[in-house]
């Protein structure tokens, strides 16, 4: 475990907000994805139940990520404290997705606001797992806002939570957990058994951050529009209205802040999946709400960054 220098969090946050995730940059998450794709067929050949091999597969990759990142940081820090700090800043930066999430959601907003529905669907298909072909304008906007809300935990709260308390290697370890879930955590025929434990581990890793996000969203809402009471009410009453044990909480928070209805049934892999609505008493989601969700996500991320900075300052 590393104790973060107090300036690691703000430097990583600033780096993410300015640079984002350029496609020509090397990125550990892409390496994680490549490792998952490489090892999966080998584990599937093991003569054990798929649940067991899938669990071994997930645990091995998670521990390998933690070991490699911890060993690398220890080695670099032993040579130079300054270089060790720089490396840990980079580790935390790579674990964040604030600018990337904002940019990708706005890529859906831009054609949608001009009425280019098919282009908006195409852009949306890059960031969601649902079937976008049947979505109308309201469905596209709702899916984009849900993605911003849900990924506020995956791409902001959880990485900062683990980085602040346990250091950069654990932030990268979380990214492997999250990447495993996004690649093999599907409840379809191919991954229902093999990806079961990857999905469960992701649920456990996001459990506290998802619930912490409610308070961060409420705090940001208090500054912006004074709807913090709506945030707590909606999260308390409807935060569990989701297939995921965690995703409903940030979605309920964003629904309350923006006064929009999220969730509901959607198509996945050609089949309708019935899901309850979140914030059903609110209005329909429109294209402009994508932009508002992005602006709120950025503002809330900065508030969380200040909180994590304060915590790291106190414990460093």
Q: Write the DSSP assignment of 126-162 as a string of letters.
A: TT-SS--TT--HHHHHHHHHHHHHHHHIIIIIHHHHH
Residue 199 pLDDT more than 60?
A: yes
- Answer yes or no: are the C-beta atoms of 140 and 130 closer than 8 Å: no
CA dist., res. 287 & res. 117, Å (int): 11
Task: Indicate whether 304 pLDDT > 70.
Answer: yes
Separation of alpha carbons 151 and 149, rounded Å: 6
- 99, 100, 117, 151, 255 from 294: Cα distances, Å: 9, 11, 20, 11, 13
pLDDT for 26 equals: 82
Which of 6-15, 173-182, 185-194, 198-207 has the weakest average pLDDT? 185-194
The answer to whether 155 and 97 are in contact (CB under 8 A) is: yes
User: Minimal CA–CA distance to 95: which of 301, 254, 314, 303?
Assistant: 301
- Looking at every residue in the chain, the average pLDDT score rounds to 94
For 81, counting Cβ atoms within 10 Å of its Cβ (0-12 exposed, 13-18 middle, 19+ buried), the class is exposed
Mean pLDDT across the stretch 33-38?
Answer: 97
Mind listing the pLDDT tens digit for each residue in 59-81? 999 999 999 999 999 999 999 99
The model's confidence at residue 186, banded by pLDDT at 50, 70 and 90, is confident
Give me the pLDDT at residue 193, please.
96
pLDDT for residue 17 is more than 90: yes
78-114 per-position pLDDT tens digit: 999 999 999 999 999 999 999 999 999 999 999 999 9
In this predicted structure, what is the pLDDT of residue 129? Answer: 82
**pLDDT surpasses 80 at 267:** no
Asked if the model's pLDDT at residue 245 lies above 70, the reply is yes
Instruction: Read off the pLDDT band of 2 (50, 70, 90).
Output: low
- Determine how β-strand 271-273 pairs with β-strand 277-278: unpaired
First CA to last CA distance, the chain: 13
pLDDT value, residue 3? 60
Spell 144-177 as b/e; 16+ CB within 10 A means b: bbbbbbbbbbbbbbbbbbbbbbbbbbbbbbbbbb
The answer to whether 151 touches 101, Cβ cutoff 8 Å, is: yes
Q: Return the higher-pLDDT residue of 185 and 316.
A: 185
Q: Residue 257: left if φ>0, alpha if ψ -120 to 50, beta else—which one?
A: alpha
Percent of the chain residues topping a pLDDT of 70: 98
Of 180-194, 199-213, 216-230, where does mean pLDDT reach its minimum?
180-194
Name the least confident of 21-35, 151-165, 220-234.
21-35
Could you tell me the two tokens for 32?
């994680």
Asked whether residue 166 carries a pLDDT value surpassing 90, the answer given is: yes
Residue 303 has pLDDT above 60, yes or no: yes
pLDDT band with cut points at 50, 70 and 90 for residue 53: very high
pLDDT at 11: 97
C-alpha–C-alpha distance, residues 303 and 224, integer Å = 12
Q: Is 91 exposed, middle or buried (0-12, 13-18, 19+ CB in 10 A)?
A: buried
What DSSP state is assigned to residue 4?
A: P
155 touches 98 (CB < 8 A): yes
Structure tokens at 208: 């506290």
């Amino acid at each position: 475990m590393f104790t973060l220098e107090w300036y690691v969090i703000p430097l990583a946050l600033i780096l993410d907000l300015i640079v984002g995730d350029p496609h020509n940059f090397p990125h550990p998450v892409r390496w994680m994805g490549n490792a998952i794709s490489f090892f999966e067929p080998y584990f599937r050949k093991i003569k054990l139940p798929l649940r067991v091999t899938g669990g071994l597969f997930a645990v091995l990759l998670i521990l390998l990520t933690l070991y490699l990142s911890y060993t690398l940081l220890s080695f670099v820090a032993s040579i130079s404290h300054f270089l060790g700090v720089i490396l840990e800043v980079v580790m935390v930066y790579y674990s964040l997705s604030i600018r990337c999430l904002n940019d990708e959601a706005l890529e859906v907003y831009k054609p949608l606001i001009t009425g280019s529905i098919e282009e908006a669907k195409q852009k949306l298909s890059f960031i969601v797992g649902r079937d976008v072909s049947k979505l109308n304008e309201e469905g596209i906007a709702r899916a984009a806002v849900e993605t911003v809300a849900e990924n506020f935990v995956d791409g902001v709260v959880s990485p900062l939570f683990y980085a602040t308390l346990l250091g950069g290697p654990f932030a990268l370890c979380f990214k492997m957990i999250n990447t495993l879930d996004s690649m093999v955590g599907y409840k379809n025929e191919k991954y229902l058994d093999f990806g079961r434990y990857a999905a469960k581990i992701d649920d456990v890793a996001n459990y506290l951050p998802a619930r912490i996000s409610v308070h961060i969203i409420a705090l940001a809402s208090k500054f912006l529009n004074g709807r913090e009471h709506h945030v707590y009410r909606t999260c308390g009453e409807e935060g569990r209205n989701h297939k995921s044990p965690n995703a409903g909480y940030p979605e309920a928070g964003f629904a309350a802040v923006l006064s929009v209805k999220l969730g509901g049934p959607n198509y996945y892999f050609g089949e309708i999946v019935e899901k309850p609505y979140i914030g059903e008493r609110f209005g329909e989601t429109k294209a402009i709400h994508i932009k508002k969700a992005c602006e709120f996500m950025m503002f809330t991320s900065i508030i969380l960054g200040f909180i994590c900075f304060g915590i790291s300052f106190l414990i460093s």
